[in-house]
Amino acid sequence: MKDIRKLTIDQIEAYMASIDEKRFRARQVYEWLWKKSASSFDEMSNLSKNLRDKLSEDFAIKPIKTKMAQYSNDGTIKSVFELHDTNVIEGVLIPADDRMTACVSSQVGCSLSCKFCATGYMERMRNLDPGEIYDQVVAIDKLAKENFDHPLTNIVFMGMGEPLLNYKNVMEGIHRITSEDGLNMSPKRITLSTAGIAKMITKLADDEVKFNLALSLHAANDAKRNEIMPINETNTLDALTEALLYFYQKTKNNITFEYIVFNGFNDKIQDAEELWNFAKKIPSKINIIEYNPIAEANFLNAKADKIEQFASYLKNKGLIVNVRRSRGKDIDAACGQLANKNLVTS
């Protein structure tokens, strides 16, 4: 049966007309789907039983299901979500004093093969549908309320997959999350992180998106970036600079550069200077991220004094720099660790 969440409001109205129902019933169904997050037609209590039965005969709702959850010592909660076709993805709730952040996935697996990321060693099975993206936010918001008595405040597309390789569905999912007839979250509270696909960054600019953009950078010269991120071979730093400048000109949103400082690889002052030369061209800030080792790779996090020197160099050059500490490392929920490992519910 067709997934009703893939229909527009106009298509649902046409369906209602075809079964001799009032057109306003379509708006009621739409509200149940996207504002009230209904996962079954039986929940739609202001519809007649006959109409609910008819909808059940003709359509399906295919919500994600929480298969298991794991709780970190630092409060982070990782959820394993099962999709209607038995594929599995992961999402993370990251609590803090001033915010509740959902880290959501955009694909089952990933095709980019970044050498330091556990997801990059997985096969990309398929893109997520808009409803599956939306459902992650709903489920993680529920966790935030149940465990911390506070709703979500922020969403980051930093989970499994490359969002810009699932462009249409990610944009539609964000629309459902931010629209008044959806969850009505502010797009300013959403950050999409990309490994760097220049033509799709340009498309984001042309679409004049309202959410924030982060580039997963990790090296500011092409030779090093090629070594750890094969996508750079076809999306060089020059191409990314051009696309990011265009994005800023169209949206007036500063870019965030995410930079993991790997021990012995990109942790020297020369690397910091290259990062400064790259970042100074674009209105931006830099998040220096602690590396979380994975079994598939031999990278190690840089030593604390090296990270401090690296950050201080950039700050002294006038850049905005934040050093981010990892959350959820003990449950493989930190940045770069999502890989559908077998979990035990906590």
Return d(Cα 251, Cα 264) in angstroms, integer: 37
Phi-psi bin for 312: left (phi > 0), alpha (psi -120 to 50), beta? alpha
Query: Rounded mean pLDDT of the chain?
Result: 93
Neighbours of 321 (CB within 10 A): 22
**Residues 289 and 218: beta-carbon distance below 8 Å:** no
The model's pLDDT over 97-118, given as tens digits with 9 standing for 90+, comes to: 999 999 999 999 999 989 998 8
Predicted local confidence at residue 343, as pLDDT: 42
- Least confident span in 11-25, 125-139, 291-305, 322-336: 322-336
When pLDDT is cut at 50, 70 and 90, the band that residue 290 belongs to is confident
Q: Which residues of 273-304 are buried (b: 16+ CB within 10 A; e: fewer)?
A: ebbbebbeebebebbbbbbbbbeebebebbee
The model's pLDDT over 41-80, given as tens digits with 9 standing for 90+, comes to: 999 999 999 999 999 999 999 999 999 999 998 899 999 9
Average pLDDT over residues 243-270: 96
Average pLDDT over residues 306-328: 90
Of 90, 132, 162, 258, which is the active-site residue?
A: 90
Which secondary-structure segment (H or E) carries 257? strand 255-260
Whether 335 is catalytic: yes
Q: Report the DSSP pairing between strands 59-60 and 126-127.
A: unpaired
Of 103, 110, 114, 335, which is the active-site residue?
A: 335
Predicted local confidence at residue 329, as pLDDT: 60
Predicted local confidence at residue 342, as pLDDT: 47
Residues 6+ apart with CB under 8 A from 146: none
End-to-end CA distance of the chain: 35
Average pLDDT over residues 333-345: 48
Return d(Cα 27, Cα 39) in angstroms, integer: 16
Q: Which residues of 133-153 are buried (b: 16+ CB within 10 A; e: fewer)?
A: bbbbbbbbbbbbeeeeeeebb
The model's pLDDT over 261-279, given as tens digits with 9 standing for 90+, comes to: 999 999 999 999 999 999 9
What pTM, to 2 d.p., does this model score?
0.93
Predicted local confidence at residue 294, as pLDDT: 81
